[in-house]
Amino acid sequence: MAAWTTEQIPPLTDTTVIVTGANSGLGYHTALALARAGADVVIGCRDPSRGDEAARTLRDASGGRVTPLPLDLADLASIRAFVARFTAERPRLDVLVNNAGVMALPRRETTVDGFERQFGTNHLGHFALTGLLWPALRCSPAARVVSVSSMMAFAARLDLGDLQSERRYGPLTAYNRTKLANLYFMLELGRRARGTAVRSLAAHPGAAVTNLQRHAYGAAIRLIGQTAAAGALPSLYAATVPDVQSGDYYGPRWFGAWGAPHRARIPGLARDESIAARLWDLSEQLTGVRYPAGAA
């Protein structure tokens, strides 16, 4: 069977999509392919000027509809403002690609709301965003939430007693935990969305060259990694292929690092439903975002 490419994305006319962190890297190429397929793409970017520039470039390259909206996933107020602006014009959301992230910050930093920055951005920010967008997702006849994780999830173990890395902070340890948290979230969301039209999936880019590696693995990834466009393929597969199901996880075919999208293995720890439920409850308490009926 031929390898899957963006040429196989079905027409996405009348499909509304949000891609977070789309001003560069994986998010940019995800948004580009979706816009070329005809989707109405909204990109959430922390820096408004970079978001505007990326949207212009994406429109020129795709000939499609791309709208930038400010979104800082490390700020709950910014997330709420983004959702308010989005839903004021678009009551329905068909695809949410939770792509944005930060990686291996050398020193422990905190968000506006006092969360450790990697956990606050990569997990809590997307948890809050998805919950606030839940009514818009429920308006779609076949909505999808795609959580972008990483192979580094296999190197993690979640410490529910120290989610904020207050006792001990390790740049990569903190990052790896957030990527495992993304998978706990994806699977738990799928369980809580049973009986609705919302599918919860995940993807990882393998070894892809992006700005994410500025603090770790940069030299190695530049030497052996695939392009950001190739790294975006698993996310695009999860977001567009008709017969995917909740709980599916996709990554590159060859050793999980390179190649066309393929079913990826989920770390065994991520399948612990009791940990996932506890993480969900803690995430609701920390963010103040509680999912409406239909995700409970």
* pTM for the whole structure: 0.94
Q: Which has the closest alpha carbon to 232: 254, 255, 250?
A: 250
Residue 258 has a pLDDT of: 74
* Residue 184 known to be catalytic: no
Helical segments of the chain, H only:
25-36, 48-62, 76-89, 117-119, 126-132, 134-138, 171-192, 218-224, 228-231, 233-240, 273-287
Distance between CA atoms of residues 85 and 174, nearest Å: 32
Residue 254 has a pLDDT of: 73
Distance between CA atoms of residues 62 and 185, nearest Å: 32
Q: Please write the tens of the pLDDT for every residue from 6-34.
A: 999 999 999 999 999 999 999 999 999 99
Q: Please write the tens of the pLDDT for every residue from 66-101.
A: 999 999 999 999 999 999 999 999 999 999 999 999
* Residue 172, token pair as written in the block: 């990569």
Reported residue count of the chain is: 296
pLDDT (mean) for 142-167: 94
Distance between CA atoms of residues 91 and 16, nearest Å: 10
Catalytic residue selected from 175, 249, 250, 291: 175
The bridge status of strand 16-20 relative to strand 258-263 is unpaired
Asked whether the predicted pLDDT for residue 108 surpasses 90, the reply is: yes
Domains of the chain, first to last? 11-287 (3.40.50.720)
Residue 221 has a pLDDT of: 58
Asked whether the predicted pLDDT for residue 235 surpasses 70, the reply is: yes
